[in-house]
Structure 1
Amino acid sequence: MKFSACAAVGGNWAGRKLKMDKSEFQVEENPYSNIRHMIGVVSGKGGVGKSLVTASLANLMALQGYRVGIMDADITGPSIPRMYGIHGPAVGDDNGLYPLEADNGIKIISTNLLLPNEEDPVIWRGPVIANMVKQFYTDVIWGELDYLLVDMPPGTGDVPLTVFQSLPLDGIIIVTSPQDLVRMIVSKAVHMAEKMDVPVLGVVENYSYMICPHCGEKISVFGESHLEEAAEAEKLPVLGRLPINPEYAQKADAGDFAGVANDGLDRAAEVLRAMNENKS
């Protein structure tokens, strides 16, 4: 089977009026995959650390014995493979494409694992990018997974819309940062989820603070948090507040993120565990 981005463009999108009825856009899971839960990690803006949150939560669930995968849906700015130190090319056969595995057993698919040179830019138009994401679900052989985490690009454009409409999300986690515009960021993501009938599991704040290595004082580098106000306004639970941790950044740059256990996401992990138990 040839896994071609160009061949992925299907259907005539020109002139079609986009509807909120997802049944028109739903795609079928690869017959050799069995994914129990699919969780999107989203944000209304870039630069808030969605990939770090995605990878940290994936690590926590893997440490607890769950079978976990990461779909790197940030097609033009993929970072997950680099964080885990894995390199392509991913290979496939007549049944589909196989994801690569990190040192801790997490299965990963990303455009970086398909390109001849992982540093090549992805210069594709929206329909091609959107259909590549669908192929990450229909053509990738994920096998048995308890959780597939989808690391999405920021905003409400083609890729988030495709994921919300075409893939069977069980819920999303919104990632934000401690700045004045946090309420707008959260609201955008919440309203998109509501229009697409996807549950919002809660909010995670990244870059909440840092601990001075000399005196132990907690420093609010980006100002005081507005997370509680935003979460209360949207009636959402707060699933974690993550500090700035230079060690995590160093491990990500070194491709050694599989060894990170970020306990700031314990509550988010509890929500995912409860979801799995309720389905048993």
Structure 2
Amino acid sequence: MKKIKIFSIILFLVSAVVYAGCRIYAGVMTDHTPPVISGGDEVIQVSVADPQEKLLEGMKAEDSRDGDVTDSLVVQDISEFDDEGKRTVNYAAVDSSGNVGYYSRVMQYTDYQEPVFALDSPLRFPVNGKFNICQGITASSTLDGDLTNKIKYTLDRAVTSSVPGTYQVEFRVMDSAGRTSYLPTVLEVYDPSEERIDVTLSSYLVYIGVNGAFNPSDYYAGADVEGELTIQSTVDTANAGTYYVDYTVTSRTAVGKSRLVVVVR
């Protein structure tokens, strides 16, 4: 019986040593080191038209055990713009043990422009008519193209379509980089019985630079009834802001109006 106890103790000790050895070996052999990502400039300059593959040019990923794992390198995500108009590109690469390495660098666009709006008709709607406030307005950006389905708006008060009046409305749209553009303007409900001349413009919304050239007459396209044209403009090209040009055509028996929105920036 004593020999059996001694044998059991020896067996237990041997098993413990083997188990401990296996744990130590496993710990030594287990790979916990992620790949190292490098290459490329700390700040990359790209066009908004460049494909995402452009961000991977010159980049590589090396792993201490697997060697070159550049094939696993991906763009994990791109941040929104920071206060300086820059974005951060975040990269990731993985090795055969599942370890993930990360890397970040700054990205600057060479040709980015913030989203802009366009109008194909004035924001004027007849009394008692059915209308969509976003009717005729579109938005686009150099980065994303068409953004019309992302347009949102805020009114200063609920529109009463049965009574002529004006309403302050602000349109806004945000692109995929987090940049939001705003268009504060005026929506008008008018009495069509008082306006029987259709006044047409070549554009209903234009953007011009501060101190840029602007001639209101250039945007008048004509009217369906001959009459006297009056142009009233609030545009101040020396200061950024949203301005209006009203075009009124008056004949002996009728009148018609249209409005151009001018954004100076």
**Short-chain TM bin:** under 0.3
Which structure shows the higher strand fraction? 2
Which structure shows the higher helix fraction? 1
TM-score normalised according to structure 2 size: 0.19
Larger Rg: 2
TM-score normalised according to structure 1 size: 0.19
